[in-house]
Chain A
Amino acid sequence: MGLDQSFIGRAYPPGTPYRVSREKIAEFAKAIGDTSPVRHDPEAARAAGHRDVVAPPTFLIILTLGIVDVLANDPDLGLDYGRLVHGDQSFTHHRPATAGDRLTVTTTIEDIFARAGNDFLTVRTDIADDAGEPVCTGRAQLVVRGEDV
């Protein structure tokens, strides 16, 4: 029990870029019942001033979920995946993600603290495009439930 607080500030480099496709946006939109034309029709998206179909506000969880694997695979951190719970999530969009984007994710552990027998990690994900321009900043609080909680 008790994650090492010296991991605060640790950054994990970006992995392979993720290419956002029209098909994945449409699939995600359908899964959440979103029938808006800007998700499904490139012409409608362009008419609304976008380069291509626009991702729903929480779409980029597809990229940020991968951070859990990154953290769980860090043997020094010693995260117990089976006890991991998603506490909260936020996204700040610097611009809308659209089909055609090639995105990379840099993960940083912003905070680690223990409370009531549980460990809390605040993890920031900086999502950038091919040009290195910021697209979205995500923040997740991950909770590692204690043994007897």
Chain B
Amino acid sequence: MTDVAKGYELPPLAVDVTRADLVRYAGASLDFNPIHWSDRVATSVGLPGVIAHGMYTMALANRLVTDWAGDAGKVLACSARFTRPVVVPDDDEGARIEFSGTVTDVTDGVATVTVTAKFDGRTVLAKATAQVRL
């Protein structure tokens, strides 16, 4: 990783997110907001249906980074803006989110990785970055 330079592309990641994954993440993260498991509640607040936790998508974006970096301790900072919901159908296939990452800066041994997360052909995170110690 010491020869990583600006423009380097990380190995991509695709995740098929199912309702079962959302339930598991809800329990693991203690985020039990019903818009992430109840169509009734989700539609009552104007959503098309159950949506994934934004923090779940952000966690997967950072998994792309740590899978590459090999050690979570190297991620010095991470951030993301939640711009569009990932609607997760109640079926076995789920919703496919495709992640890609590019090194957009290297300064003093710290790489900035910018991650793109796409669902249904559109980005669902903005300004998703991680600072990684090389």
Contact = CB atoms under 8 A, between A and B. Distances in A.
Interface stretch (B77-85, B87-95, B101-109, B116-124): B77-85
Given A31-B29, A32-B25, A34-B63, A90 B73 contact: no
Interface in B40-92: 45, 54-56, 58-60, 62-63, 65-67, 70-73, 75-82
Interface of A: 24, 27-28, 30-34, 36, 38-39, 48-50, 54-58, 61-62, 65, 82, 85-93, 96, 139, 141
Interface of B: 15, 21, 24-25, 27-31, 45, 54-56, 58-60, 62-63, 65-67, 70-73, 75-82, 127, 130
22 contacts: A27-B28, A38-B71, A48-B71, A48-B73, A49-B73, A54-B71, A55-B72, A56-B59, A56-B62, A57-B66, A57-B130, A58-B78, A65-B29, A87-B82, A88-B81, A89-B54, A89-B80, A90-B80, A91-B79, A93-B77, A96-B73, A141-B81
